[in-house]
Structure 1
Amino acid sequence: MNAPSPARARPARPLALSVAVAAALALTGARAHAQPHKRACAAAYERAQGLRRDGKLLAAREALIACSQPTCPAAAVADCGPWLAEVEKSLPTVVIAARDAHGRERLDVRVLVDGRPLAAALDGKALPVDPGPHTFRYEPASGPAVEERVLIREGEKNRPITVTLGASSAGAPASPPPPAAPTPASTAAPAPASTAAPAPASTAAPAPASTAAPTPASTAAPPAPRAPTSAPPSAPAAPPAPAASPATPSGEPAVPGLVWASGALGAAGLAVFAVAGALSLSAEADLRATCAPRCPGDDVRAIRVQHAVADVGLGVGVLALGAATWLYLTRPAAARPPNAGVAAPGPALRPFVAGAAAGVEGAF
């Protein structure tokens, strides 16, 4: 195989060298051009975070669009893309409509928010606005401008805002209010005239024609006293109302406290009788079933004591309840209401005790 001649290999070296130099220059130029763009991406990345914290979502959206470009670093794109979606979701929008005083829709209205233009004319499209309180100014092509303070909430989409503008033709309906002012005056004038007329008319009838002039003055005084005279009849009508209150006194006399005490003692005595009697009967039944008739003396005595306690409780309960009944029926009759002026005879009762029996006797 023949080797290449040195004359043919020499021209290839300068060509390869020139290609390498051109590629290096191109790569250097691309890097030099990419450096400013990377710095812009980093600046937009930082600025977007601060604008989001401050609630300036419109400016934050612009910064996030800049740092989410494919030419930006991959780390910035990975963050700015999701952030941009969150800002778009939180950015509120409004739909503004304007009407004149007659309800006709106006489209030739320029809208400003906090002094900055928002729309040159109304077209029914949603307009993005930062959240927070804002001053909306509506400037129609003809007529006065209108301002209002509106609170825009974050995440609120397509919020309708309708404003009523005062057009030049609105002066016609505004004219009726002035005539309304004279109407009260005109109605106020007839009132005194109507009230003045009846006074002379009522006094002119009884007085003769020759004394028509003095009679209004002389008869003007009598109507004044008549007003108070009509008031007294209404005053006496009031006394019957208070008279009804004493007619309804309490129907029953007060119950003495001793009645409650005796009743409580009687209830306690009966409770002792019930408990002690039940215990003694139960213990006696146990002894009969186990050891009768040769039961220990202590157990027998205990049952007898319980029987005695039950008997005492029964006696105290009966006596106390009887005393409570007697005290209740013989309580002072002075507290009882009169029965049409006739005193009702009270029951003649008296307690009695005979041995182990006690009760109340008398005539009812």
Structure 2
Amino acid sequence: MRFMPRRHGVSLFIFLVVLLDVVGLRTARADEKPQCVAASEKAQKLRIAGRLSEARAELATCGRIECPKLVQQDCSEWMREVLAILPSVVLGAKDQDGRDIVDAKVSIDGKVVTESLDGKAVAVDPGVHLFRFETQGAPAVEEKVVVRQGEKNRILTVTFATGPAEGEAPSGMKHSKQDGSAPIAAFVTGGIGLAALGAALYIDLDANADARNLRKTCAPSCEQSQVDDVENRYVIAGVTAALGGAALIAGVVLFFTHDRAVKSGASRFMPFGRSLSHGGLAGAGFQF
């Protein structure tokens, strides 16, 4: 019987501890009640406005066990409805060779949502959004997308263009230089043709002068070597004129078709021609 008071003391202590816990819990729940009710009301307004992501956060607050049971039940039901209609997108990025890019930062309407791509879905409110993808070594890519209510796991993949290396001209400047190479080739080719025609004219006129001199001085008993020399120059003048004409025509063709020539690489030409027997630019020959 000497131990009975101690047992009563232990029981009293346990009773006081439980009582304090209950009172504290009720006090805590009483303090949570205004916050729960406010979160519930705010969630309703956000849900009606289509701001489902924010509504989901508020519903998580008012759906806690600390909130009044009626508020908790309503918020849990609304949470299920919001999750059912909250859209989501799966973000992806590739390079020009079709390989996945992992180290890419993505912003939605100016707010960063991820620093890398891992294939997981990202919840997005319904409506029009601007997605911006950024990665090192390439220009940023922006896509304006209409996200539909209830749309789940929509695949959104962009392709990054290869950026210019350090010290390298931008792609637009490189195209300009390439486009300008064809007219230069046309001018050079045409210039060679004109020079060849000029040389052929000079040789032909020189041969004609020697031929007239032979007629006046020794025809018809001129030495064969003298006659052969004049005839050879007529042949040279004819071949040179043919090649010059071909080069001039090729230059004109290159000038008017330089865009296609650059793209296909067909900026070469093959001169052609044939010698004219006993004739040059004048197209006449003679016999001694």
- Report the TM-score, using the length of structure 1 for normalisation: 0.43
Change (3 A) 1:14 1:70: closer
1:144 matched to 2:142: no
Change (3 A) 1:15 1:118: closer
Return the offset for 1:41: 1.6
CA distance in structure 1 between the partners assigned to 2:53 and 2:88 by the alignment: 11
SS at match of 1:154: coil
Change (3 A) 1:15 1:61: closer
SS at match of 1:105: coil
1:98 matched to 2:93: yes
Q: Is the 8 A contact 2:29 2:67 kept in 1?
A: no
Quote the residue 1:348 is aligned against: none
Quote the residue 1:153 is aligned against: 148
Quote the residue 1:117 is aligned against: 112
Residue 52 (structure 1) aligned to one of 44, 47, 50: 47
CA distance in structure 1 between the partners assigned to 2:99 and 2:13 by the alignment: 76
Residue 176 (structure 2) aligned to one of 154, 175, 178: 178
- Report the TM-score, using the length of structure 2 for normalisation: 0.54
Residue 29 (structure 2) aligned to one of 26, 34, 47: 34
SS at match of 2:75: helix
Residue 56 (structure 2) aligned to one of 55, 61, 84: 61
CA distance in structure 2 between the partners assigned to 1:186 and 1:147 by the alignment: 39
Q: Is the 8 A contact 2:95 2:159 kept in 1?
A: yes
Cα deviation, 1:145-186, whole Å, max 9, x if unaligned, reads 232322211111111112122334677994762344226635
Quote the residue 1:308 is aligned against: none
CA distance in structure 2 between the partners assigned to 1:25 and 1:123 by the alignment: 49
Q: Which runs of 5+ in 1 are unaligned?
A: 1-9, 197-208, 210-364
Change (3 A) 1:172 1:106: farther
Return the offset for 1:84: 1.0
CA distance in structure 1 between the partners assigned to 2:7 and 2:103 by the alignment: 74
CA distance in structure 2 between the partners assigned to 1:150 and 1:133 by the alignment: 6
The one-letter amino acid of 1:80's match is C
Quote the residue 2:260 is aligned against: none
Change (3 A) 1:159 1:109: same
SS at match of 1:118: strand
Return the offset for 1:127: 1.0
Change (3 A) 1:123 1:18: closer
SS at match of 1:69: coil
Q: Is the 8 A contact 2:93 2:157 kept in 1?
A: yes
Cα deviation, 1:201-243, whole Å, max 9, x if unaligned, reads xxxxxxxx9xxxxxxxxxxxxxxxxxxxxxxxxxxxxxxxxxx
The one-letter amino acid of 2:37's match is A
Quote the residue 1:4 is aligned against: none
The one-letter amino acid of 2:43's match is A
CA distance in structure 1 between the partners assigned to 2:49 and 2:98 by the alignment: 39
Give aligned-pair identity as a percent. Answer: 38
Of structures 1 and 2, the larger Rg is shown by 1
Return the offset for 1:25: 4.5
SS at match of 1:135: strand
Q: Which runs of 5+ in 2 are unaligned?
A: 195-207, 209-288
Q: Which moved more, 1:138-147 or 1:55-64?
A: 138-147
Return the offset for 1:52: 0.4
